Chain A
Amino acid sequence: MTAEVFPEAGLFQRGAAAFAASIPEHPDDDGFFGPGSVTWRVHADLSAPVSGLRSLLLQALHPLAMAGVDQHSQWRDDPGARFASTSAYVLTTTYGDRAAARAAAARVRKIHDWVTGTDSVTGKAYAASDPALLIWVHAAMVDSGLAAAAAYGTALTPAEQDQYVAEMTVAAELVGVPHARYADGGAPASVAELNAYLDAVRPSLTTSKSTADTAAYLLNPLDIEPELTDAFQVLAAAAVASLPDWARAMYGFGRGGPAPGSVPPERDEVRQVLGVLDAVYLGEPGVLEARQRLTLRMRAAEQAQQR
């Protein structure tokens, strides 16, 4: 899935188009997770937009990940395209069949092979295919899925949280993280391992002009449809409020949003805005059908489990 598939549309429409296009109509198989997985539920949760935003805010704190994006992608020219292709990637690896997921992952790995260089902030060399960086990006996303669902979505039980983290190691491996236990260089496979990883990686994180630019864009995207600006501010505040305290401190954010001293939005308010956005999303071509395809498959899996 490339950006060119969604030309000349606003951020939101591109996101909707990515969703509709990433849910297969006639999949060959259930993909790497399957309709009974926790991953399918989390990635379709109402809180997903907050999770995505939080995830990007977190990921930008790693100087080498940031440098790779900054020096090699066109995100500053067309951040919406980057956003749409990233969300299409996650959706395809989640809901696509195995062939589609593998193909999407192969494309990303091929691009990653070219993404190498030296970070001007830390002076360190980097390579996007470095498993350490891949694990960072992965862990930030998984942690955000859990945090956003807990704060604004359908909360998971502790067992389901562990299951989600474990299931998602497959996604990490698709993009190049070794198939190994966490202790042996693989992706974290439980909430405890995920938290241990985040604690361990914190000393490597830092902020810079690139980080600030990224956050400025993420929290107030210029290419968002103008009518959505105010609604988006509620989501941005929610994403900030759901960050770990240390990440907010690094950015200099307030408790409930970018501004120091801001108060977190209430759960109901965030959900109401998410619900309206979801309704608008449903009005975009193909989104309702894609959603129904997912619901049907998830229900069938549920019934099969009960039998």
Chain B
Amino acid sequence: MNEPKLRVSRGLAAMRLAARGGARYAVNAPRLFAAAGERRQQLRDDLALRTAQDVADTLGTMKGVLMKIGQLASYVDDGIAPPARRILGRLQDSVPPMSPELAAGVIEAELGARPERIFKEWDPLPIAAASIGQVHRAITADGQAVAVKVQYPGVAETMAADLGNVALIRSLLKMAVPSQDVTSLIEELRERIGEELDYVREAEHQRQFAAYFDGHPTARVPKIIDELSTARVMTSELADGARFAEMLSWSQEEKDLAAETIYRFTFRSLYGLLAFNGDPHPGNYLFEPGGRVTFLDFGLVKHFTPGELDPLVAMIEALCVRDDPEGFRRAMEEADFLQRDAPIPTEVVTAHMALFYDSVRERGPRTMTSEYSSAVARRYVDFKNPLAAYAKIPRPYVIVQRINLGLFAILGEMNATADWRGISEEIWPFSQAPPSTPMGEAELPWLAQTRSAAADIATGENSATAADMLPDGR
């Protein structure tokens, strides 16, 4: 590896050092941003980023990159080193929103005129923070309510420059996620940051998902407003609904429906679009009764080739349908999850991997719990397990592992019950079973309409293959 700047190599375990002193302060550390109500708003205004220089000072010199490392690492809850988690959390706190002037300046630079001229109405105060930007509410000239995501000016250049210091990033990743393969992660990180900085690409993803789920009974993706979207500004329909925390207070029946939609959305897009929307973060959903869920934020989308998905499908089919341990093992080897000729009995392999498939091995209602999602996460990072010396997560699947754990965590938090196996059989390409739930029934017209489109997207042989990304197969 050619790394001229290796001087910094193992440095920056900085993040680990705080472990010694940090935790005991956590409870009583006063935070200005934690101030209540108006005072908080006032503080945010007073500390707002007013110039591109403020942005560079706040997100440059590796801080923006560090924040993205934090986001990436947060998908492996058990894998991120606790002090790093604390530091990265504080870093998020340290980024105030743009001042109304600065945000208006970005709109003007990108769309050619001040926001008050572009939009019939423009709310100068952001309604949400995006990782490298913020979201404003507006009403278009023809009266449509929209959400406008505005990128911090100069942040793309700043982060691109910092990404050049590979040695430093390598050390940072080693500290943040000591249990993970740094070489794979670093590639993912660079790709993700590149993608996330480019709103054109994000809009393209969102368009793709919006088109695919158009007409779906419960899953909704806001449409992109093309003429108001650029590389640094992205405008989409304004979605409405309850936030995750509020939804958690709804009846279990409602929560189960919402969970079913999230599950169907995730695996329908995987098999139908060969794409995985990468960010199962509670902040990226809006909920309405009846299981209706709006999916936000397509900054982190992973596309697969049929060849990447085939072995995963084969694993599911072997373990969950045909009960064929040797076939399962062969599929694992084909996907490079497991070394060939590893001196481990096949029953040990299946015994270890079975946990990941627990929710889909048998028909009948099962409840996702936080205990289950934690157990799955722990097993991922358990390096003392018998397979550890011979198993790895190949590069195409790295991010997916994290995303999937995030999904487990979300469903676990919702305490969601469903016949996951039954739903999976509807979706698995090798079974494509008839509806197993009322929502499945309601999907039929949409499914008929999308099948042809899906066939267009995946034209290769085995186009319909794909399993979920876990070596667990849901």
Interface residues of A (CB under 8 A from B): 9-10, 12-13, 46, 225-234, 237, 265, 268-269, 271-280, 282-286, 288-289, 291-293, 295-296, 299-300
Residues of B within 8 A of A278 (CB): 61, 63
Nearest-CB residue, chain B, relative to A13: B21
Known: A271-B61, A272-B62. A225 touches B17 (CB 8 A): yes
Question: Least Cβ distance of B373 to chain A in Å?
Answer: 27
Interface residues of B (CB under 8 A from A): 5, 7-18, 20-22, 25, 29-32, 43, 46-47, 57, 60-63, 66, 83, 86-87, 90-91, 93-94, 161-162, 164-165, 168, 171-172, 175
Q: Are B14 and A227 in contact (CB under 8 A)?
A: yes
A286 to B32, CA, bound (A): 10
Q: Are A277 and B17 in contact (CB under 8 A)?
A: no
A283 to B176, CA, bound (A): 14
A239 to B30, CA, bound (A): 34
Nearest-CB residue, chain A, relative to B85: A283
Question: Least Cβ distance of A282 to chain B in Å?
Answer: 5
A118 to B310, CA, bound (A): 82
A291 to B57, CA, bound (A): 13
Q: Are B31 and A289 in contact (CB under 8 A)?
A: yes
Residues of A within 8 A of B93 (CB): 288
A-B contact pairs, 6 of them (CB 8 A): A227-B15, A234-B11, A271-B60, A273-B168, A283-B15, A284-B18
Residues of A within 8 A of B60 (CB): 271, 275
Q: Are A232 and B11 in contact (CB under 8 A)?
A: yes
Known: A227-B11, A227-B16, A228-B11. A283 touches B61 (CB 8 A): no
Known: A228-B11, A230-B7. A282 touches B161 (CB 8 A): no
Q: Are B91 and A282 in contact (CB under 8 A)?
A: yes
Q: A46-B57, A230-B10, A280-B12 are in contact. List 11 more A-B contacts (CB 8 A).
A: A230-B11, A271-B61, A272-B162, A275-B62, A276-B11, A284-B18, A284-B22, A288-B32, A289-B31, A296-B46, A296-B47
Nearest-CB residue, chain A, relative to B169: A272
Q: Are B47 and A288 in contact (CB under 8 A)?
A: no
A232 to B93, CA, bound (A): 26
Among A233, A272, A273: residue with most chain B CB under 10 A: A272
Residues of A within 8 A of B168 (CB): 269, 272-273, 276
A269 to B165, CA, bound (A): 7
Q: Are A227 and B17 in contact (CB under 8 A)?
A: yes
A296 to B90, CA, bound (A): 18
Q: Are A228 and B13 in contact (CB under 8 A)?
A: yes
A23 to B87, CA, bound (A): 21
Residues of B within 8 A of A227 (CB): 10-17, 175
A92 to B164, CA, bound (A): 38
Known: A228-B11, A274-B61, A289-B31. A280 touches B87 (CB 8 A): yes
